[in-house]
Amino acid sequence: MSDRQLHILVSNDDGYLAPGLLALVNAVRPLGRITVIAPEQNHSGASNSLTLSRPLSIHRVADGERDGFFFINGTPTDCVHVAMTGFLDEKPDLVISGMNQGENMGEDTLYSGTVAAAVEGVMFGVPGIAFSQIDRGWKRIENAAKAAHDVVAQMLVSALVRGDGTATLLNVNIPNRPYADLYRWRVTRLGNRHHSQPVVEQDSPRGEKIYWIGAAGDVKEGSEGTDFHAIAEGCISITPMQLDLTHHARLAAMRGNGWDRG
């Protein structure tokens, strides 16, 4: 990286008015030039969805604490995708997403809009970090944001991009603790949850059946080395992730078992 100022794109899935976004932006401002492009509304659980059925609008906040923030009437992935494909004059050096209200561990990462925003940056060759605070309610959010600053600073010291040229993707979960207690970090793998709780069935005012998605399942595999275990020990969990979903062992087995034809 040259001596020019680092350009950081910040997004989230809780929406541009979320306290976690503002806290994260303020915490990382000393590290570079900040551009904020976030969803207009909450899009938790949006995963990597793109809005293809209607046009998107971008608006700029003109005053207050969020002066200069941009917001889009779309998903977290929309925000980063639009930034990368024309809204910004040049690609940023780093995409960070969060601070999410609530954990993103294990299978949560497949549904998370927070993680998806960071993933979208990586898909365009830009390193991405997704930040989540474990407990909902924004308690001690400033402390979590300070810890996020430390993680970003460490990433800058270590190297933004691995030697093979693949953009780094990190999923970071931070306990709701005083900042003085957030010095313990663990590099982890994703744990595993039981199946989600059943849907909640209700009747609408018109007598129609409606359904709410049930809560996430409890921890199934949270042994030492997982994100669940690190959080249970009061540590920050930092999980390096990748986009390749290919099951390479199964690939080799199928090729040797007659699946390749012709």
Predicted TM-score of the model (pTM): 0.92
Q: Based on the structure, what is the number of domains in the chain? A: 1
Are 24 and 131 within 8 A, CB to CB?
yes
Q: Kindly state whether residue 205 falls inside one of the protein's structural domains.
A: no
Q: Kindly state whether residue 1 falls inside one of the protein's structural domains.
A: no
pLDDT given for residue 166 in this prediction? 74
φ, ψ at 95 (rounded to 5°): -115, 125
- The candidate with the shortest Cα–Cα distance to 98, out of 125, 80, 124, is 80
| Mean per-residue pLDDT pooled into runs of 10, the chain (262 residues) | 81 97 98 97 92 97 96 97 96 96 94 97 96 96 98 85 70 97 96 86 93 83 91 97 93 90 84
CATH of the domain at 21: 3.40.1210.10
Q: Kindly state whether residue 223 falls inside one of the protein's structural domains.
A: yes
H-helix or E-strand containing 174?
A: strand 169-174
H-helix or E-strand containing 214?
A: none
- The candidate with the shortest Cα–Cα distance to 72, out of 62, 86, 83, is 83
Q: What gap in Å lies between CA 169 and CA 116, rounded to an integer?
A: 11
pLDDT given for residue 17 in this prediction? 97
Q: Kindly state whether residue 261 falls inside one of the protein's structural domains.
A: no
Q: Kindly state whether residue 147 falls inside one of the protein's structural domains.
A: yes
Are 219 and 106 within 8 A, CB to CB?
yes
Q: Kindly state whether residue 140 falls inside one of the protein's structural domains.
A: yes
φ, ψ at 154 (rounded to 5°): -65, -40
Length of the chain: 262
Q: Kindly state whether residue 49 falls inside one of the protein's structural domains.
A: yes
φ, ψ at 92 (rounded to 5°): -70, 170
Q: Kindly state whether residue 230 falls inside one of the protein's structural domains.
A: yes
Buried b (16+ CB within 10 A) or exposed e, 74-97: bbbbbbbbbbbeebeeeebbbbbb
Angle ∠(110,55,38) on CA atoms, nearest 5: 50
**Sign of the dihedral through C-alpha 21, 153, 104, 174:** negative
pLDDT given for residue 159 in this prediction? 67
Q: Which domain holds residue 185?
A: 7-193+219-255
**Structural Rg of the chain based on CA atoms:** 19
pLDDT given for residue 80 in this prediction? 98
Q: What gap in Å lies between CA 104 and CA 228, rounded to an integer?
A: 10
pLDDT given for residue 194 in this prediction? 79
pLDDT given for residue 102 in this prediction? 95
Q: What gap in Å lies between CA 22 and CA 38, rounded to an integer?
A: 11
Are 169 and 80 within 8 A, CB to CB?
no
